Amino acid sequence: MKIYKVKNYEEMSRKAANIISAQVLLKPDCVLGLATGSTPVGAYKQLIEWHKQGDLDFSQVKTVNLDEYKGLTPDNDQSYRYFMNKNLFSGINIAMENTHVPNGAEADSEAACSAYNAMIRDLGGIDLQLLGIGHDGHIGFNEPDSVFPAETHCVDLTPLTIEANKRFFEKAEDVPRQAYTMGIKNIMLARKILLVVSGADKAEILAKAVEGPITPQVPASVLQLHPDVTLVADEAAMSMMKL
Ligand code: GLP
C-alpha cells in the first residue's frame, strides 16, 4: 500500500484529485469507480476546477458509482445519483450516458444488482476505484459481516450507518434502510484503488483497516490484499496508525 500522509482535508483533496487526474490523462477513456459521502467532495471540486482551466477532459471517461439507496429515485435530492450530478458530473464535460449509479428506483433487487454487475463487466472493469470508509469499516455499503459479499447486492444498513448518514436527511426516519452496493469482488477487481480518509473520528477504524487482521468484520481490511492501493489520509485520520 502506497501511503500519503497529508496535513488536512484540503491537502487530501488535492492529492486525491491529482491521482484521479493522472489516471484520466494516461487513459482518457478510463473507467473511474466513484464514491459519495463528504470525504470525496473536495477532490471533486478540484477536478471541476482543473477541467474549467482546460487541463482535464472527461469526454471519453466512464464512471461507475459504488452504491445507491434502494427506493430513492434519481430526482430525490438524497439519492447518490443526485449527489454525483450536483458535486461532479454537472461541472465537467462527461456524457451523462457514460455515468452509472445502481438503479435505486428498481424494486427488484436481483434485477438491479445483476444489471449492474453486467454493466461493469461490459465496460471491461474499473481502472481506478475511489473509496471512502465508514466508521464501522464499510466500503461502499459493504457492512461488517461474517463473510465478504461478492458482487453487487442489496444490504440492510446498520444502525451506525443510518446514524452517520442521517445528517444529510431531515430526520433519521427518512434514511432508507436498504441500499444496493457493489460487492467486495467488484471493488477488489479494480486495477487500482484510491482510499481517502480525513478526520480524527476515522482514526480508529483506519488503523484497524490498514494494520489489523483481514476480516469481514472490518470490510476495508480486505484492501490489504489488493496489489495496488493508494491511501491518502490526513494527520488526524492517521493518528492511531503505528507508522
Ligand atoms: C457512506 C457511503 C460510503 C462512504 C461512507 C463514508 O455510507 N456509502 O461510500 O465512504 O459513507 O462517508 P463520509 O465520507 O461522509 O464519512
Q: Is 84 in the pocket of ligand 1 (CB under 6 A)?
A: no
What average pLDDT does range 33-42 have in this prediction? 97
Q: Is 141 in the pocket of ligand 1 (CB under 6 A)?
A: yes
Gap between the Cα atoms of 206 and 210, Å rounded: 6
- pLDDT, tens digit (0-9, with 9 covering 90-100), for 93-144: 999 999 999 999 999 999 999 999 999 999 999 999 999 999 999 999 999 9
Q: Residue 153: name the closest of 145, 164, 161, 163 by CA.
A: 145
Res. 9: pLDDT tops 80: yes
Which percentage of the chain shows pLDDT scores above 90? Answer: 94
Which of 41, 138, 166 to probe ligand 1 with, by most ligand atoms within 8 A of CB?
Answer: 138
Which percentage of the chain shows pLDDT scores above 70? Answer: 100
pLDDT of the residue at 171: 87
pLDDT of the residue at 239: 98
Distance 208 CA to ligand 1 centre (A): 17
Rounded to whole angstroms, what are the CA distances from 186 to 14, 131, 150? 26, 13, 7
Decide if 67 is catalytic.
yes
Confidence band for 146, pLDDT divided at 50, 70 and 90: confident
Res. 18: pLDDT tops 90: yes
pTM of this structure: 0.97
Query: What single letter denotes the amino acid at residue 77?
Result: D
What average pLDDT does range 23-43 have in this prediction? 98
pLDDT of the residue at 96: 98
Rounded to whole angstroms, what are the CA distances from 49 to 1, 55, 130, 199? 29, 9, 19, 24
Strand pairing of 192-197 and 128-131? Answer: parallel
- The pLDDT mean for the chain works out to 97
228 φ/ψ angles, rounded to the nearest 5 degrees:
-140, 75
- pLDDT, tens digit (0-9, with 9 covering 90-100), for 39-75: 999 999 999 999 999 999 999 999 999 999 999 999 9
Confidence band for 219, pLDDT divided at 50, 70 and 90: very high
Confidence band for 226, pLDDT divided at 50, 70 and 90: very high
What stretch of H or E contains 206? helix 203-211
Q: Is 176 in the pocket of ligand 1 (CB under 6 A)?
A: no
